[in-house]
Each structure stands twice: as structure tokens, then as C-alpha cells.
Amino acid sequence: MAQHYKDLIAWQKEMVATLYDATEAFPKRETYSLTDQMRRAAVSIPSNIAEGQAHFSRREFRHFLRHSDGSLAELETQILIARRRDYLTETQTEELLRRTNEVGRILSGLLSSLKDRITVS
């Protein structure tokens, strides 16, 4: 395992700043609904990676990585909803989805690598 969560590519690829910038222009009526949900999901992804890695247990780390993956799926859904509501441009949507796909691939690889290392006694 990495020595520190900041060493993990999945953590480094977070998209919090990009997401915050994109949701800044959302209508004020969405502040405590879609905007807040999207921001919480985006923050949850690297936060769960960091928390899981800090537990120093592969089993717990995988558990937290699955939570990150769930937050990622939640965020992808919310991005698509925001696009349908015309809160995001096509360009913003494509960029955000490109980044979520990249993080998803990295998380899948990390989960697989942790699974492969487990030995049954």
C-alpha cells in the first residue's frame, strides 16, 4: 500500500475544484439541493480514499474505496441531471464525465490490486 494517501493517484485526480467552479453558476434555488449534493459527492471521493488508506487495513481500505466508487456514481448521475437542466454546458459535462471516468478506472484498478494481494490461510 502507498505510504500516504496523498501518494495515491486516485486521490490526486480528485475533481473538487473543477466541480465547485462548475456549480458556481447554478441557480441560487439549487444551492441547498443539487449544488450541495454534487459538492458533497465530489468531496466524498478523495475523503474516503484518505480515510480508508489511513486505517492501514486492506479490508477497511477496500471498504472505503467502494464508498468512493459509490460517490463517484452518484456524482456522474448528478452531472447528467445538471446537464439536462441546462445548468452545465456540453463542454463542462464532457470534461466532468471524462474526469469521473478516469477516477473510476483508477479506483477499479486499485480495488483489483488490493483484492489480488489477499491470501487465504
DSSP annotation of 37 reads: H
| pLDDT for residue 117 | 53
d(CA 63, CA 61): 5
| pLDDT for residue 120 | 46
DSSP 62-105: HHHHHHHHHHHHHHHHHHHHHHHTTSS-HHHHHHHHHHHHHHHH
| pLDDT for residue 28 | 95
Total residue count of the chain as it appears in this document: 121
| pLDDT for residue 55 | 83
> For residue 32, what is its C-alpha cell?
441547498
| pLDDT for residue 109 | 92
d(CA 49, CA 6): 9
The full set of domains in the chain, from first to last, is 5-116 (1.20.1440.60)
d(CA 22, CA 33): 15
pLDDT averages per 10-residue partition of the chain, 121 residues: 76 87 95 96 94 88 95 97 97 96 93 69 40
